Structure 1
Amino acid sequence: MERSADTAFFGHPRGLAYLAFTEVWEGFSYYGMQALLMLYMVGQLLRPGHFEHVAGLGQLRAGLESIGGPMTTIALASQIFGLYVGLVNTTPLLGGWLGDRVLGQTRTIVLGAVLMTLGHLSMTSERLFLLALLLLVLGAGFIKGNMAVQIGRLYGADDPRRTRGFGIYMLVRNIGALSAPLVCGTLGETLGWHYGFGVAAVAMVAALIIYLAGRRHLPPEPPVVRLSVAQAPLTRDDWRAILGLLLAFIPFVLMFSAVYQAYTLFPVWATDHVDRRAWGLTIPVTWIFTFDGIATMAGILAGVRLWRALDARGREPGDIGKIAIGCAMAATAFAILALGAATASGPVPLIWVLAFFVMLDFSFIWGEPPLKAFVSRHAPPAKATIMMSLAIMSIALANFTVGWLGRFYERMGAPEFWLLHAGIAVTGLVAALMLRPIIHKLVERRVTG
C-alpha cells in the first residue's frame, strides 16, 4: 500500500484528528476516574458506614482475602484499583472479537462509548459501585483495540509516519489527561466525589459525537468475518510473526508494571508524605496529575521531534529499541522517587515528585506508541484487531501486577517500595535488549517496506 496523500492533520491523515479528539474526551473520562478512584475508596467508600452499602463488595473482599490473606483498607483499595485498570485492558480482547466477527469496529466503538457513559453515571451511587466498574471495563474494552486498529489503517504498510502517528494520537489524548485532574479532581475533592464522576459521563457523550462526525474520514472497514465463514489458515510466517509480537510484550509489561504504580499507591502516599504547599496553598493531590499531563505532552512532543530528526539521518531506533529506552527512563524515575523518600527528614519536597513525573512522563512515548505501531505493522491482517487487543491486554497484566504489589507497600516502606519498581523497569530494559534480535528475526519476513 502506498503512502497516503492525505496530510491535512500536521502531515497526517485527517481521520487521525477525529480519532485523537474522540480520545481527548474518552481520556478525560478515564483519567478523571483514575485520579479520583484510589482517593475515593480510601477516603470514603471503604470506610465503615459506606462499605456495607456497596452491593457485592463484602463478597469481593472475602474472595480476594481467601486467595491472598487479610488486607488493610489501603491494600484492598490497591487490589480493586489494579483489577479495574487491568480488566479495562483485558476486555479489548472481547472488543476485538466483536469488532472482527460480530458488529464491526464502528458499532463496537459506539457501544463502548454508551456503556462508559452509563458506567460513569452509575458511579454517582455508592450501591452501584461494582456495577459501574463493570460497565466502564466493558465500555473501554470495546473502544481501545478497535480504535487503535483504525489508526493503523490510516497508513500504508511502508509509511514511516505510522509510529509518529500513534505518538501524535497519544499527545492529543493527553489533553484530556491534563484537564481531567483539574476538573474531576477539584470537583471530587472539594464538592463531592460524585460530581467528579458525573462530569466524566458528560465527557463520554462528547467523545461519541466527535467519533460519529469523523467516521467518513476513516478508511472503509474490512468485511466482518462471521463465525460460519471459513478463513484461510495462518501461514508459517504468520505464526512466526505472532510469536515475535508476543515476545515484544515482555519488556513492555515489565516497564508498565513499574510505571502504573504512579497512579495507584502514589496518590495515597503523596496525601500524607509529600509537602504540597505552593504559592501559599496546599494543592490537592489530584492537581499533581495535571503536571503529569503537561509533562507527558512535553515528552511526546520532544520524542516525536527527536524521531523525525533521527529518521532524516537514517538513525531512528526501531520500535523494540525505543521500548528499551523507555524502560531505562522509567527505572530512573523511580530511583529519583526512592531517593527523595529516603533522604527527606520530613515531608518529601515537591521538587522530588515533579522530577519523578518529568522522567516518568518522558518515558511514555518510548513505550506504548512503539508497541502499537510494531503490532499494527507486523500482525497478520486476519488477526490484526485480536493482536492489537492482546497488546492492550499486556497493559492489563501490568496493572494486575501493580495491584498485587500494593500488598507490600506498608510492609516495605516507601523508599524500598519505589526502589523495587526501579528494579522491575531495569528488568524490562534487559529483556528488551536480549529479545530484540530474536523478535526481529521472527517478524522480518512480514516486513514489506
Structure 2
Amino acid sequence: MTTPSNWFGQPRGLTILFLTNMWEQFSYYGMRALLVYYMTTTLLFDQEKSSSIYGFYTAFAYFTPIIGGTIADRWLGKKRAVIIGATIMAAGHFMMAFEPAFYFALATIALGNGLFLPTLPAQINDLYHSGDPRRPWAYNVYYVGVNVGAFLAPLICGFLGETYGWHWGFGAAGVGMLTGLVIYLWGQRYLPPERRADAHPATPAPITHRGRNTFLLLLGIGLAVTVFRGAYEQIGNTFALWMRDDVDRVIGGIEIGAAMFFSLNPLLVMIMTPFLLARWKRQAERGTELSVMHKMATGALIVAASYLVVAAAEAVSGAGSAHWLWLLSFFLIFTLGELYILPNGLGIFARLAPPKLGASTVAAWYLAIFAGSLAAGQVGRLWSHVDHTSFFLLLAGIATAAAMLLFLLDRPTKAVLAAAADAGPDEDLTDVGIGLARQRHG
C-alpha cells in the first residue's frame, strides 16, 4: 500500500526506515571502528587473538540474520523482530563499556543483529503498490542512510573513544542504537500492516536442470566471494593497525585519530556512486557495458591494486611512517573496487532467486560473507609473522585469485541469466542488490 501523504516524494514510512537504519549503522560502524584498538590497548590481547576475535564477530554478524529472518517470518513478524533486535543490540553496545562483559556483549550484539538486519529493509516493498514507479528508487534512498550512518560513526565514536576513552565511544554507539529504536517506535503509524504469510505453503516444485545450474552458479560465486572477503575484511582488522601504527596522520599540524579515517570509505561511496552509475548507463547505451561477472572481477582486481598501493607505501617509507596521502589513495582505490563487486554480487543473488525463495537465496549471500569473514580472521593472524609489505602483497594476491575465479564464471553466468530472462524475472527482487549492497556490511 502507499500512504496518502508523502515526505520527499516517497511514503512517510520510508523516512522512518531510513532514519532507523541510519542510526543502527551508526552504532555498528562506531563500535567496529574501535574494536581492534580496544582489544590491543585496553584488554591487552595480542594481535593474533584480536584478529581472530574480530573475524569471528564480523562472521557471526552475517550468520545470525539467516536464522533471525526465519524466526521473524515464522513467529515474530517484521515489526516485533526489529524492536526486539534493536533492544538487544543497544544492550550489547552498552555492555561493551564494561570490560568483564566483553565476550557476552559481542554475542548480544550479533544476536540482536540477526533479528534486525533482515527485517527492517524487508518492510520497504510493503510501502508501495506493485506497479509504483518509485519503488526502485526507494532502495537507493535507503542506501543513503547506510552510508550517512557509516560516515558519522567513526567521526563521533572514534573521536570520543580515542580522546576520552574507548568506553565513551562504545556508549555513543549504544545511544545511536537507542535513537534508531525510538524513531522506529514513534513512526509505527506510518508503516503499513504486515502481509500475513500463507499458513499452508504449496508443495515445493521439483528441482529442474535450470535450478541445478542456478544453484551451482551461485555456489561458485559464493566461493569466489569467500576468497575475496579474506582480503576485503582486513579493512577493519589488520589495516586498522597499519593506520594507527605506520601512518603519519598529522594534517595541518593536527594529528587525526586513526579511527576517524574510517569515515573516508562511506563518504567516497556517496560521492563516487552517482558518477559510476552514470558511466555504466552511458556504456549500456553504447553497448559496451561490462557483464556482471566482469564487473565483479574488475572490482576484485581494483581492491588488489589498493593493497599494492599500501605495500608500496611500506616499501617507500621503510622504518618511518607513511604519509597520509598514501592512506587517502588507498581508500579511493579500495572504495571504487568495492562499488564494482559488492552491489553486483548481491544483485545477482537477488535476480536469480527462485519464486518464493527470495529471502533464502539472498541469505545465501550473507552465508558467503560469513565464511569469508572467518577466513579473514585467520589471514589476519599472519600480520605478526611476516613483514607488512609481504602481508599486503598477500592480500593483493588473494583478491586477484578471487578475480580469476569470477572471470571463469562469466560464461555460465550469462547462460543462467539468459534462461532466467526467458522464464521471467522476479519483480520484487531485481532492484534489491543496488539498494542494499552496502547494508552492513556489504
Q: Smaller-chain TM-score range?
A: 0.7 to 0.9
Distance across 1 between alignment mates of 2:264 and 2:131: 36
Assess if the C-alpha contact under 8 Å between 2:3 and 2:190 holds in 1. Answer: no
Report the Cα offset of residue 99 of structure 1: 2.6
Paired residue type of 1:204: M
Q: Which residue of 1 aligns with 2:433?
A: none
Q: Deviations over 1:79-132 (max 9, x none)?
A: 001100111011111112113322223322222111111111111111111111
Q: Which residue of 2 aligns with 1:98?
A: 71
Shift in CA distance, 202/185, structure 1 to aligned 2, threshold 3 Å:
same
Task: Please say if 1:419 is aligned against 2:390.
Answer: no
> Among 353, 373, 395, which residue is 1:399 paired with?
373
Report the Cα offset of residue 371 of structure 1: 2.4
Q: Which residue of 2 aligns with 1:234?
A: 205
Q: Deviations over 1:67-87 (max 9, x none)?
A: xxxxxx110011001100111
**Which stretch of structure 1 is more off in the superposition, 85-94 or 344-353?**
344-353
Q: Which residue of 1 aligns with 2:335?
A: 361
Paired residue type of 1:77: S
**Which stretch of structure 1 is more off in the superposition, 273-282 or 77-86?**
273-282
Task: Please say if 1:28 is aligned against 2:26.
Answer: yes
Q: Deviations over 1:356-378 (max 9, x none)?
A: 01111122222332222222232
Q: Deviations over 1:23-70 (max 9, x none)?
A: 2111110110111000000000136xxxxxxxxxxxxxxxxxxxxxxx
Report the Cα offset of residue 159 of structure 1: 9.9
Q: How does 1:104-253 map onto structure 2 within 5 Å?
A: 104-151=77-124, 166=139, 169-212=142-185, 221-224=194-197, 229-235=200-206, 236=208, 237-253=210-226
Q: Which residue of 2 aligns with 1:39?
A: 37
Report the Cα offset of residue 391 of structure 1: 1.0
TM-score (norm 2): 0.85
**Which stretch of structure 1 is more off in the superposition, 434-443 or 118-127?**
434-443
Shift in CA distance, 178/435, structure 1 to aligned 2, threshold 3 Å:
same
Shift in CA distance, 318/155, structure 1 to aligned 2, threshold 3 Å:
farther
Distance across 2 between alignment mates of 1:147 and 1:199: 22
TM-score (norm 1): 0.83
Assess if the C-alpha contact under 8 Å between 2:3 and 2:12 holds in 1. Answer: no
Where 1:254 maps in the other structure, the secondary structure is helix
Report the Cα offset of residue 230 of structure 1: 4.9
Distance across 2 between alignment mates of 1:219 and 1:204: 23
Shift in CA distance, 311/262, structure 1 to aligned 2, threshold 3 Å:
same
Where 1:97 maps in the other structure, the secondary structure is helix
Where 1:90 maps in the other structure, the secondary structure is helix
Shift in CA distance, 341/152, structure 1 to aligned 2, threshold 3 Å:
farther
Identity over aligned pairs, percent: 33
Q: How many residues of Structure 1 are paired with residues of Structure 2 in the alignment?
A: 419
Q: Deviations over 1:267-290 (max 9, x none)?
A: 212222111111112211112112
Task: Please say if 1:441 is aligned against 2:415.
Answer: yes
Shift in CA distance, 290/312, structure 1 to aligned 2, threshold 3 Å:
same
Q: Which residue of 2 aligns with 1:60?
A: none
Report the Cα offset of residue 191 of structure 1: 1.0
Task: Please say if 1:432 is aligned against 2:403.
Answer: no
Q: Which residue of 1 aligns with 2:280?
A: 307
Q: Deviations over 1:222-264 (max 9, x none)?
A: 43356xx454213424454344333332333333321110110
Q: Which residue of 1 aligns with 2:437?
A: none
Paired residue type of 2:204: P
- Structure 1 gap segments, 5+ residues each: 48-72
- Structure 2 gap segments, 5+ residues each: 426-442
Assess if the C-alpha contact under 8 Å between 1:149 and 1:376 holds in 2. Answer: no
Assess if the C-alpha contact under 8 Å between 2:30 and 2:173 holds in 1. Answer: yes
Assess if the C-alpha contact under 8 Å between 1:166 and 1:372 holds in 2. Answer: no
Assess if the C-alpha contact under 8 Å between 2:217 and 2:409 holds in 1. Answer: no
Where 1:233 maps in the other structure, the secondary structure is coil
Shift in CA distance, 128/322, structure 1 to aligned 2, threshold 3 Å:
same
Where 1:382 maps in the other structure, the secondary structure is coil
Report the Cα offset of residue 21 of structure 1: 3.0
**Which stretch of structure 1 is more off in the superposition, 296-305 or 22-31?**
296-305
Task: Please say if 1:270 is aligned against 2:243.
Answer: yes
Where 2:63 maps in the other structure, the secondary structure is coil
Task: Please say if 1:352 is aligned against 2:326.
Answer: yes
Report the Cα offset of residue 146 of structure 1: 2.9
**Which stretch of structure 1 is more off in the superposition, 153-162 or 416-425?**
153-162
Distance across 2 between alignment mates of 1:154 and 1:338: 48
Report the Cα offset of residue 445 of structure 1: 3.5
Q: How does 1:32-111 map onto structure 2 within 5 Å?
A: 32-46=30-44, 73-111=46-84
Root mean square deviation, CA, Å: 3.1
Assess if the C-alpha contact under 8 Å between 1:171 and 1:301 holds in 2. Answer: no
Where 1:145 maps in the other structure, the secondary structure is helix
Assess if the C-alpha contact under 8 Å between 1:39 and 1:268 holds in 2. Answer: yes
Q: Which residue of 1 aligns with 2:435?
A: none
> Among 309, 323, 334, which residue is 2:307 paired with?
334
> Among 249, 261, 264, which residue is 1:288 paired with?
261
Where 1:112 maps in the other structure, the secondary structure is helix
Q: Which residue of 2 aligns with 1:52?
A: none
Assess if the C-alpha contact under 8 Å between 2:157 and 2:170 holds in 1. Answer: yes
